[in-house]
Amino acid sequence: MKKAVRFTKMQGAGNDYIYVDNSLYAIANPEEAAIKLSDRHTGIGGDGLVLIGRPSDTDSADFTMRIFNADGSEAMMCGNASRCIGKYVHDKNLTQKTAIRLATLSGVKTLKLHLDAEGNTKSVTVDMLEPALSCPEQYDETSCGHLTAAFHTFIGTFVSMGNPHFVIFTDDIEHTDLAKYGSLLEHNPAFPQRCNIEFAQVIEKDKIRTRVWERGSGITMACGTGACATAVAAAVTGRAGRHSTIVMDGGELDILWDEADNHVYLTGGAEFVFDGEVYL
78, 84, 195, 228: which is the annotated catalytic residue?
A: 78
* Residues 44 and 35: beta-carbon distance below 8 Å: no
Task: Characterize the bridge pairing of strands 152-160 and 146-149.
Answer: antiparallel
- CA gap 123, 128 in Å, rounded: 15
**Residue in 155, 104, 166 with CA at minimum distance from that of residue 133:** 166
Query: Which amino acid is residue 92, in one-letter code?
Result: K
% helix / strand / coil in the chain, to the nearest 5? Answer: 15, 45, 40
Task: Characterize the bridge pairing of strands 99-104 and 63-69.
Answer: parallel
The yes-or-no answer on residue 135 being catalytic is no
In this structure, the number of other CB atoms found within 10 A of the CB of residue 259 comes to 8
* Residues 165 and 182: beta-carbon distance below 8 Å: no
What DSSP state is assigned to residue 188?
A: -
Helical residues (DSSP H) of the chain, grouped into ranges = 30-38, 79-91, 178-186, 224-236
Residues 243/247/248/254 CA torsion (nearest 10 deg)? 30
What DSSP state is assigned to residue 192?
A: T
* Non-local CB neighbours of 273 within 8 Å, separated by 6+ positions: 8, 9, 10, 11, 16
84, 144, 195, 223: which is the annotated catalytic residue?
A: 223
The yes-or-no answer on residue 78 being catalytic is yes
Query: Which residue numbers are catalytic?
Result: 78, 223
